[in-house]
Amino acid sequence: MRVGVLNGPNLNLLGTREPEIYGRDTLADVEALVRREAAALGATIDWFQSNHEGALVERVQAWRGAVDGLLVNAAAYSHTSIALRDALAAVGLPFVELHLSNVHAREPFRHASMLAALARGTVGGFGARSYVLALHGLAGLLRGA
């Protein structure tokens, strides 16, 4: 099983950016955690982060036929990007939307997601563990469990 992990804007600043909200783990720490967990599940990870909406859209398109499913932390683009939503719809890959923080306990503009209605599930509020929980959920879906 191959899983693409899409990371949106400002996630490259994890560990130093508002650690009271996002935690102290860096994106490299999160990636290492996800890769370890994926290996235990017999999965491989294709990891990508960009601050640019177009680069995220292009990566989603490139994953069509190359991966079995996606974990998507689109960060702020979750709430604003019709282009990313349309790319996810176009490629038709199953995906789990995830967030480090509980977006529903934050500012009202973060309560709505452009992606959630397309996602097979959503996970948020568990810090770096949100990725692991999302990975387990996606693996179960892909295996039909």
Beta bridge partners of 2: 44
> How is 38-72 classified by DSSP, letter by letter?
HHHHT-EEEEEE-S-HHHHHHHHHHHTTT-SEEEE
Mind telling me the catalytic residues?
22, 99
- Helix-helix angle 53-63:82-91, to 10 degrees: 0
